[in-house]
Copies of this chain bind each other. A is one copy, B any other.
């Protein structure tokens, strides 16, 4: 059992703050990150992994005392697709989150209290800018790859547009180049659930009870969208929690209700309600076309080799969104591979439908390393 530790880097300060996309300035900014494997002498084997909405820097291996490994341990490690015998793998917690990197729960040095809603609204591009500062800080000139699923895939797409000279390739999984009305709508419901909780207190709850009830409801909605209808039916159907017969009352009796409650309750123990608001907003703001540009224009400066992966039963980030990116990349004659993997797991597939995804990523990284680095 390999034990790893989270590291921290201060990448901006009050004297030299981040200039955010929304116009605000933010400093100091600390970033939590982990690294696995060894950076080679030529610094050509570094891969940045980008986590999804509620993920963190702990992508693989074990923290001391933990019984569960990091969130993408199936994909990262010796002999795994992101092979730590070959590659130097980095994963950092995104800006605005609550797991080590500066976010709304961090202390604002000006007031000595948590930012709460005075934290500036951030974007996917701001997250990527911070990751670029981290890569600079680590002395890496060009990444072999950036890779992520869901919100992580949006970051990978943004990297390809923002820093084409700094990556050899990008792996975009179960993601999109801009949020649709339905994607915004599901997030808005979650935000309204949080903000309707009287414990939310306009985000100023840090020395009080946390807004658990609203955040749990928000998370429940999310989990419905992460599964396919069919996988939910196979897993739960109309199974009851414990009784043989319906109780004719409002207690939790269907297994799917118990699952959602469990997911909601465990989420509020580990995630900050304001970070929920900021990160969903960042995703909803995400639109590489900025409203009116053609995606093929947006991608015209991309120089990285691209791998795009989607899953057949993912209805939250449906394949057509991946295909739109692939078409726009091809229109620019950019090297792009696209794989639509058959899976019944819905959006969760990128975390659980490992076998084929692993093969695709393994082969792709070997190809890119051979074509672009050696």
Residues of chain A having any CB pair with chain B under 8 Å: 22-24, 117, 120-121, 178-182, 184-186, 188-189, 191-193, 195-198, 213-214, 216-217, 220-221, 224, 227, 229, 232-233, 235-238, 246, 248-250, 254-257, 260-261, 264, 277, 281, 284-285, 287, 291, 315, 318
Main secondary structure, interface of A, reads helix
Contact B24 A232 (CB under 8 A): no
| Residue from B23, B188, B214, B315 in contact with A220 in the complex, judged by beta carbons closer than 8 Å | B188
Complex CA distance for A281 and B277, rounded to whole angstroms = 30
Contacts A178-B238, A182-B233, A197-B196 given; does A117 touch B250 at CB 8 Å: yes
Contact A182 B232 (CB under 8 A): yes
Contact B117 A254 (CB under 8 A): no
| Residue from B180, B232, B250, B281 in contact with A180 in the complex, judged by beta carbons closer than 8 Å | B232
Complex CA distance for A238 and B217, rounded to whole angstroms = 25
Q: Separation in Å of the A44 CB from the closest CB of chain B?
A: 38
Contact B196 A216 (CB under 8 A): yes
19 residue pairs from A and B, CB less than 8 Å apart: A121-B249, A179-B238, A180-B238, A181-B237, A181-B255, A182-B233, A184-B254, A185-B224, A185-B232, A185-B257, A185-B260, A186-B224, A188-B260, A192-B217, A192-B220, A193-B193, A196-B214, A221-B221, A315-B315
Complex CA distance for A285 and B249, rounded to whole angstroms = 11
Identify the closest chain B residue to A223 (Cβ): B185
Q: What residues of chain B lie closer than 8 Å to A257, measured between beta carbons?
A: 184-185, 188
Contacts A188-B256, A257-B184 given; does A291 touch B196 at CB 8 Å: no
Q: Separation in Å of the A280 CB from the closest CB of chain B?
A: 10
Contact A229 B260 (CB under 8 A): no
Q: What residues of chain B lie closer than 8 Å to A181, measured between beta carbons?
A: 232-233, 235-238, 254-256
Q: Separation in Å of the A117 CB from the closest CB of chain B?
A: 7
Contact B248 A121 (CB under 8 A): yes
Q: What residues of chain B lie closer than 8 Å to A213, measured between beta carbons?
A: 196
Identify the closest chain B residue to A224 (Cβ): B185
Identify the closest chain B residue to A203 (Cβ): B250
Identify the closest chain B residue to A190 (Cβ): B217
Contacts A196-B213, A229-B180, A238-B291 given; does A185 touch B256 at CB 8 Å: yes
Q: Separation in Å of the A211 CB from the closest CB of chain B?
A: 10
Q: What residues of chain B lie closer than 8 Å to A285, measured between beta carbons?
A: 246
Identify the closest chain B residue to A235 (Cβ): B181
Contact A23 B233 (CB under 8 A): no
Q: What residues of chain B lie closer than 8 Å to A184, measured between beta carbons?
A: 238, 254, 256-257
Q: Separation in Å of the A271 CB from the closest CB of chain B?
A: 17
| Residue from B121, B188, B195 in contact with A254 in the complex, judged by beta carbons closer than 8 Å | B188
Q: What residues of chain B lie closer than 8 Å to A254, measured between beta carbons?
A: 181, 184, 188, 284
Q: Separation in Å of the A8 CB from the closest CB of chain B?
A: 27
